[in-house]
Amino acid sequence: MGRQRKRKGRGGGARWGLRALIAAGAAALGIAGVMCRPERWLEGLEGTEPAGPPSPAPAPTSSRGSRPKGQAPRAPAPSVHLELGTPARKGGGGGDDDRRMIKPEYALSYHRGRNVASWVSWQLDASYFGDAPRHRGRFLADDTLPEGFYRVTHDDYTGSGFDRGHMVRSEERTRSPEDNRTTFLLTNILPQQHDLNAGPWLRLEEHCQDLAQREGRTLFVVAGGVFGARPKTIGKDVAVPEAFFKIAVVLDKGQGADDVGPGTRVIAVVMPNQAGLLDQGWGGYRTTVDEVERRAGYDFLTAVPEATQQAIEGRVDDGPTSR
């Protein structure tokens, strides 16, 4: 209604009367050599209308894939290592026991009561591999932990009978010496039985490396421990998991959350943290994401649409194991 009234005012007798008055005044004053356009002066007073309807804003697109029509845009991930979502504790809660930490090389949630990470999440593709040497020397206390958190040391593991088990493998961060060094921070380490660490756990790590390096795939990985109600501890109250889990979502190069679909390969395993596994392959420990969530107490792949989660989280991977 406001626009109709505006047009009427500009086309009525008052406007043309004002034009005539200006023209007559200019002639009476004898202004020579000046181009006076009453229309332009009037537009300056009234404001100009758009020449046409505004161009529609471009539809939101993902740099990593096509968003389904009608799906609301997703908030940007706080880190590339959390692109498939930040794991959420089932039933809520966590408080000070869970402290999220984001590093350039990976992201994690650190459990204050257990003095280990609840989960570690990272992206893996060929770009993370390079010629940097493996860090030599002692494992490293993480000085970025908040005040009041115990900073686990190399000596907490010494003589315990457990390996210092990497979540993000050293070989998966060899682009630079600093990248590799960060994998030796003890916030990325949990106590692992040697037979697990050097057995099926290692073989799954090698399979993920093959997918990233040889096949050029992009993986989103999350791993951590499964704990009993009263876990065994080593050192100064460093909790020992009864089992370990890993989830690896396998995509093509450059793909991300928008490209996860019902047919996407998802590897999920739970492996017992015990001796006697040295010669075991990893394929026999495959399970569903739903089972990992039940055992670990976290909801994973939270940035993936619910319908897609339902399709992929209840399925056991049957892809090749390569090792």
Handedness of CA 236, 237, 241, 244 (dihedral sign): negative
Q: Which CATH architecture has domain 80-313?
A: 3-Layer(aba) Sandwich (3.40)
Q: What does the DSSP assignment read for 106-161?
A: -EEEEETTTTEEEEEEEEE-GGG--SPPPP-S--B--TTSPTTS----GGGTTTSS
From first to last of its 323 residues, the chain has per-residue pLDDT tens of 444 433 434 444 444 344 444 444 444 434 333 333 333 322 333 333 333 333 333 333 333 444 555 556 667 899 999 999 999 998 765 555 789 999 999 999 999 999 999 999 999 999 999 999 999 999 999 999 999 999 999 999 999 999 999 999 999 999 999 999 999 999 999 999 999 999 999 999 999 999 999 999 999 999 999 999 999 999 999 999 999 999 999 999 999 999 999 999 999 999 999 999 999 999 999 999 999 999 999 999 999 999 999 999 999 999 999 75
Annotated catalytic residue: which of 154, 166, 194, 207? 166
Cα distance between residue 114 and residue 108, in whole Å: 14
- What is residue 240's DSSP assignment? -
- Residue 68's pLDDT is what? 52
Our answer to whether residue 207 is catalytic in this structure is: no
State the residue for tokens 């990325």. Answer: 188
Assign 3-state DSSP to the chain and report helix, strand, coil percentages, each to 5: 30, 20, 50
Alpha carbon of residue 46 to chain centroid: 51
- Residue 97's pLDDT is what? 74
* Contact partners, residue 175, CB within 8 Å, separation at least 6: 127, 128, 129, 130, 132
- Residue 96's pLDDT is what? 58
Q: Is the distance from CB of 231 to CB of 149 less than 8 angstroms?
A: no
- Residue 322's pLDDT is what? 77
Of the candidates 243, 154, 239, the residue with the CA atom closest to the CA atom of residue 193: 243
pTM for this predicted structure: 0.78
Q: Which residue ranges make up each domain of the chain?
A: 2-46, 80-313
Of the candidates 207, 211, 204, the residue with the CA atom closest to the CA atom of residue 280: 204
- Residue 1's pLDDT is what? 44
- Residue 72's pLDDT is what? 61
